[in-house]
Amino acid sequence: MKRLLLLFTTIAALTSCNQANDDAQGDTPLIGVSMLSMQNEFIVNVSDEMEKKAEAVGAELIMVDAERSALKQIEQIESFIAQGVSAIIMNPCEVEASSPAVTKALAAGIPIINVNSATATKPTAFVGSDDVESGRIAMEYIAKRLGGKGNVIMIHGYMGQAAQIQREQGAREILTKYPGLKLLAHQTGEWDRAKSMSLMENWIQSYGNKVNAVFAQNDEMGMGAVKALEAAGIKDKVVVVSIDAIPDALRAVEKGTLDATVFQNAARQGSQAIETALKIIDKQPYEKEILVPFQLVTKENVAEFKK
């Protein structure tokens, strides 16, 4: 009888302990976050904002770097599923190759929110911006600066990523509107400043003074192009426009070395991704798609965007 009583007591204690753990986990939502690359300043800004928001609302994050590998990103989402997270936020590496991660999360019954970039497979929700719009804004500015005529070079981001695909789409839409604009060359700089500087150096050797404008799909690459053009002594003859409005780019616009950038709101994307995840966890109404508008930044209005 004593042994039976001891057994019941032990079971009761274990049940109480498990209930306490469940309650604690319920009080503190656990969110797994996989980011494209922590070597990219804009992506770091988005992740920093997520951490700030999570701390403010009492959520716990497991933040990991996919290092631009879709395969690694899928493995990270599998790990989140195994850990039993309440929700997943993913900054996809690629449109197609990162899609299995979304499928796996949904099959496990875990909501997944794509932030900043899209996948072919539709997630529970998306928080970001319309990258087609940013490409249009950048190329429209170039068209107006050149009077609708001239030779343009386009530096792509990481090929196959949503931002690269959509920013190219938007830029080409504008190029179609202006028959006098010619796309002289285009190649990937993989969102990287040094690689884009090297690309620009090669193009300067190949085309020299034929280059009238450069559209870089992000600021890191735009700054690389500016550096190469300055070294060649021809920056004053070439219009350079990029996207993101990171601090370096804003300083360059203020200085006049970068002609324009397109502001993408990292703070809103990061904070609203966390807010959306928490609404889904709490079974509250939420928006399945949140698009934060882009804004053109030039020397005339750059002061509005500097912190």
- Looking at residue 18, its pLDDT comes to 38
- Looking at residue 27, its pLDDT comes to 75
Question: What single-letter DSSP state applies at residue 307?
Answer: -
Q: For residue 150, report the phi and psi dihedrals to the nearest 5 degrees.
A: 150, 175
The CA distances from residue 95 to 68, 114, 208, 222, in Å, are: 12, 11, 35, 23
Positive or negative, the Cα torsion across 205, 207, 208, 211? negative
- Size of the chain, expressed as the number of residues it contains: 307
Q: How far apart are CA 235 and CA 259, in angstroms?
A: 10
- Looking at residue 306, its pLDDT comes to 82
- Looking at residue 3, its pLDDT comes to 35
Q: Is 14 exposed, middle or buried (0-12, 13-18, 19+ CB in 10 A)?
A: exposed
Question: What single-letter DSSP state applies at residue 246?
Answer: -
3-class secondary-structure state, position 120: coil
- Looking at residue 179, its pLDDT comes to 96
Residue 79 tokens, joined:
């790990």
Residue 80 tokens, joined:
């989140």
What is the 3 state secondary structure string of 139-190? HHHHHHHCCCCEEEEEEECCCCCHHHHHHHHHHHHHHHHCCCEEEEEEEECC
- What secondary structure does DSSP assign to 193-245, as a single string? HHHHHHHHHHHHHHHGGG--EEEESSHHHHHHHHHHHHHTT-GGGSEEEEEE-
Encode the chain (307 residues) as per-residue pLDDT tens digits: 333 333 333 333 333 333 333 333 457 899 999 999 998 889 999 999 999 999 999 999 999 999 999 999 999 999 999 999 999 999 999 999 999 999 999 999 999 999 999 999 999 999 999 999 999 999 999 999 999 999 999 999 999 889 999 999 999 999 999 999 999 999 999 999 999 999 999 999 999 899 999 999 999 999 999 999 999 999 999 999 999 999 999 999 999 999 999 999 999 999 999 999 999 999 999 999 999 999 999 999 999 998 6
